Amino acid sequence: MVAASRTGRQKAARLVRLGLPAAAVLLVLLAIIAVFAGSRPAVAARHGAGWVTSWSASPQHAVPGTAAAAGFDDQTVREIIFTSVGGDPIRLELTNAFGTSPLHVGHVTVALADLGAEAVPGTIHPVTFGGRASVRIPPGGQLLSDPVGMRVGPQQELAVSVYLPGRTGAATLHSDAQQVNWVSVAGDHAAEAGAGAFTIQAPSWYYLSGLVVRTARAAGTVIAFGDSITDGVQSTVGANLRWPNDLARRLDALGGPALAVADEGIGGNRVLASSRCCGGSAEARFARDALDQAGVRDIIVLEGINDIGFSAGPPADAGISAAAIIAGYEQLIVQAHARGARIFGATLLPFQGAGYYSAAGEATREAVNAWIRTSGAFDGVIDFDAVVRDPADPLRLNPAYDSGDHLHPDDAGYQAMADAVNLEMLLPQHASAAH
């Protein structure tokens, strides 16, 4: 409402100067405020009150030459996901965002996950779409399921099984799941609790982009928006130790109304440039992956290191300036505020020793971080750089937090990042327990 008040005051002042009566000026001001107020929460019209995004995965193209580019044919994919908050009922979102033909989905189920590809017997629930078990999703489309009467808890693994009866063509996927998922050789095995049919391991999530839940326990959703560091690359596979997972655990431990956490990181993603390997640019995907999520309230942006690193090599004139990255941030801030969401800036982590490090890139990183810390453009700042850098050599990750590639933190580093988020900034009502 700060933006609404400022805009309204400016407009009202111009009308007064033009000589309009005070009553007319008041009506205009109230109309402007109503427009801004109606945009929060951004997805109330899409999902309804009480719905939040408990888990998410940003859609990506299949890279040519990979198994995902070949797609599926008469196969069942069993995908393991991890809730941030619980609720009942739940809904699944399927995506054909990058498909070139309609996607035929024959059968979908959701269950509590057991070991490996197993589902807990007796917990398998059918998932329908407009009352139908089978559905076609048009190219570029995303589809939300009917509500499923299933109670799930926070920090709980679910097994979502999707049967694909025909040739899919290149799959829409999320490449780095940091999770082992499973594929059958052939046939519909979505309703089976056993793991026998699921003999192929897969490192990605396919066609599954969201889990929303209805709950009175969550005050909204915080979106962790970024690149591979937000995606949890180099964290322990299958352990759910990405920094957004750790943040969700901190929020849940507070008790009372908390926040769901949706991870919208993509490996290799950039603020300014899109690529087939690494997703649409932050600017291009911000509405879909952040603003349109159920219950969105707060967004944490940690992105820009790939803009710097990928532009540091030849040709020599390819460097991305700090000013260009900052202009990209400013676009995200404008979009977030127009939709009534708060947006927090996170400083870029040190990367000396990484494959694309350069002195010029380091200078750009430092300039970007200085702007994040001092500009006041974001609604708040999370200084990840200060937390994970080596006190003896601030251009490098602390060895205690370095996964070994000098770019991505390890499990301890991701936990340190989550611990650096001031929960009072997200949930002021928990001020006494937030630090």
pLDDT tens, position by position, 348-370: 999 999 999 999 999 999 999 99
pTM score, whole prediction: 0.88
* The pLDDT of residue 14 is above 80: no
Name the pLDDT band for 48 (thresholds 50, 70, 90).
low
pLDDT of 125: 98
Scan for tokens 């676009």, then name that residue: 331
Q: Which of 27-36, 245-254, 275-284 has the lowest mean pLDDT?
A: 27-36
CA 214 to the chain's CA centroid? 19
pLDDT of 343: 98
Name the pLDDT band for 217 (thresholds 50, 70, 90).
confident
Domain 217-433: give its CATH code.
3.40.50.1110
pLDDT digits (tens, 9 = 90+) for 62-86: 999 999 999 999 999 999 999 999 9
* The pLDDT of residue 388 is above 80: yes
Q: What is the mean pLDDT of residues 302-321?
A: 80
Q: What is the mean pLDDT of residues 40-44?
A: 38
Q: Read out DSSP for 164-203?
A: E-S---SPPEES--SS-EEEESSS--TT--SSTTEEEEES
Contact 214, 92 (CB under 8 A): no
Beta strands at 198-202 and 205-206: parallel, antiparallel or unpaired: unpaired
Name the amino acid, one letter, at 226.
G
Q: Read out DSSP for 24-63?
A: HHHHHHHHHHHHHHTTSSTTHHHH-TTEEEEEE---BPPP
* The pLDDT of residue 257 is above 60: yes
Which DSSP helix (H) or strand (E) runs through 412?
helix 411-419
C-alpha distances (whole Å) from 42 to each of 38, 48, 172, 195, 292 are 8, 10, 25, 40, 7
pLDDT of 42: 38
Query: Rounded distance, CA 431 to CA 435, Å?
Result: 8
Q: What is the mean pLDDT of residues 287-306?
A: 98
* The pLDDT of residue 342 is above 60: yes
Name the pLDDT band for 13 (thresholds 50, 70, 90).
very low
Contact 215, 87 (CB under 8 A): yes
pLDDT of 256: 78
Name the pLDDT band for 319 (thresholds 50, 70, 90).
confident
Query: Rounded distance, CA 98 to CA 63, Å?
Result: 11
pLDDT of 430: 54
pLDDT digits (tens, 9 = 90+) for 133-167: 999 999 999 999 999 999 999 999 999 999 999 99
pLDDT of 205: 98
Mean of the per-residue pLDDT values for the chain?
A: 89
Which DSSP helix (H) or strand (E) runs through 91?
strand 90-95
